[in-house]
Amino acid sequence: MAELSTEDQKLVTLARATMARTRAPEGAAVRDLDGRTYAAASVSLGSLHLSALEVCVAMALSSGARGLEAVVRLGGEGEPDLRAVREFGGVDVVVHVL
């Protein structure tokens, strides 16, 4: 794996802190095109299931972001579902799965 940029390392730190705070098995962080960051854990309720990346994308969208620059996903099982990331950010979004 290529070395992460300083900005992408910050996303890892945010995702890790979110996982620790919530005791969740999956955490994620994203950076929008304006440099704002959003971090979240996965959500699992009887009526609602969202991956950490889906929560981050929703947070960015609801905050008025115009797109995504980079995303990090920590934990979780298997490959992440990137449909929301790609739909909102496009194919050029940098994705790190750690």
Q: Note the pLDDT tens digit of each residue in 37-95.
A: 999 999 999 999 999 999 999 999 999 999 999 999 999 999 999 999 999 999 999 99
Q: Domains of the chain (ranges plus CATH)?
A: 6-97 (3.40.140.10)
Read off the pLDDT of each residue in 15-34 and give the average, rounded to a whole number. Answer: 97
Residue 2 has pLDDT above 80, yes or no: no
Average pLDDT value over all residues in the chain: 96
Residue-level pLDDT at 50: 96
Taking a C-beta distance cutoff of 8 angstroms, is the pair 88, 95 a contact? no
Q: What is the pTM (predicted TM-score) of this model? A: 0.94
Tens of pLDDT, residues 36-49: 999 999 999 999 99
